[in-house]
Amino acid sequence: MRDVSPKLLQAVTVVVALAMYLPVAHAEPEGSHTTSHSEGSGTAGGEQDKMMAAWQAYAAPGEHHKVLDALAGNWKHTVTWWMAAGAPPEKSTGNSMIQWILGGRFLQHDVTGTAMGQPFAGLGITGYDNVRKTYNSIWLDDMGTGVMAGSGQYDKATKTLSDKGTFTCPFRGETPFRGKTTLTGADTFTYEMYGPGMDGKEFLNMRIEYVRDTDRP
C-alpha cells in the first residue's frame, strides 16, 4: 500500500489554505494590518503543516484496510437465495475477482456468474474511511439501475464485518438491508444479506460462500 503523493497533498492544502485565508485578508481595512511579514508567514506555514498532516492521515491506508486484505484474490462462489422466508432456495455459481485499487485504499469486486438462469455481472467497491471510522461499500449489477450502499464495523473477535444500508426495490422503493461478511478461513469467507419480506419482517434472503480459486492465483 503506497502513500499519497506529497506534491499532490501540498497542492491541495495550499489551495484550501488560500480559500480560507483570502476572504479574511480582503476584508481587512487598509492600514489595519499590524502583523509582520515573517510572523504571518510563520502562522500560515504552521496551519498548512497541520492541514497537510491531517490530510496525510486521512489519505493513508492503515491497519483497518489490512483487514480487507483477506478478501483480495480470485474466488469461486456459490449463491443461495430465498424469495421469502421458508421458500425453497435457489442456487447459482460464479467467479469473483477482488483486487486492491487506488494504492490500497479500496477493494474492487468484479463478479460474473448466473442468476435465475441468466448471465450475471456485478461490481462492488469496499473501503475504510479514516475520518468517519467506518467500512463503506457500494454495489451495482446488471439486474437493476440502482446502487446499494452500506457502512459498518469489523468485529475482530468474530472476524465479522457487519454493515447496514439501503437498496432500491422496484416494488417498495428505498429498502433497508443488513449484511454480514465472515472470514471463515484463509481460503474461505461468507456473505449473508438480510432484508424485509412482504410482511415487513427481516429474513435471510441471500448467502454467498466463497472458496479461493487455486487455478487463478
Residue 216's pLDDT band (cuts 50, 70, 90): confident
Q: Indicate if 147 and 196 belong to the same structural domain.
A: yes
Number of domains in the chain: 2
| Least confident segment among 25-29, 94-98, 127-131, 206-210 | 25-29
CA 101 to chain CA centroid, Å, is 12
Q: Determine what percent of the chain is predicted with pLDDT higher than 90.
A: 70
Q: Indicate if 205 and 150 belong to the same structural domain.
A: yes
In tens, the pLDDT along 101-153 reads 999 999 999 999 998 889 999 999 999 999 999 999 999 999 999 999 999 99
Domain, as residue range, for 156: 65-212
Q: Indicate if 102 and 74 belong to the same structural domain.
A: yes
In tens, the pLDDT along 156-166 reads 999 999 999 99
Mean pLDDT of the 169-192 span: 95
Q: Indicate if 55 and 107 belong to the same structural domain.
A: no
**pTM value?**
0.79
Q: Indicate if 16 and 71 belong to the same structural domain.
A: no
Q: Indicate if 169 and 96 belong to the same structural domain.
A: yes
d(CA 102, CA 96): 19
Q: Indicate if 51 and 106 belong to the same structural domain.
A: no
pLDDT at 42: 59
User: Is 71 domain-assigned?
Assistant: yes
In tens, the pLDDT along 40-82 reads 455 677 888 889 999 999 999 999 999 999 999 999 999 999 9
Give every CB contact of residue 205 below 8 A, 6+ residues apart in sequence: 81, 82, 83, 193, 194, 195, 197
Q: Indicate if 53 and 83 belong to the same structural domain.
A: no
Backbone dihedral angles phi then psi of residue 188, each to the nearest 5 degrees: -145, 150
Mean pLDDT of the chain: 85
Q: Indicate if 39 and 88 belong to the same structural domain.
A: no
CATH of the domain at 195: 2.40.128.20
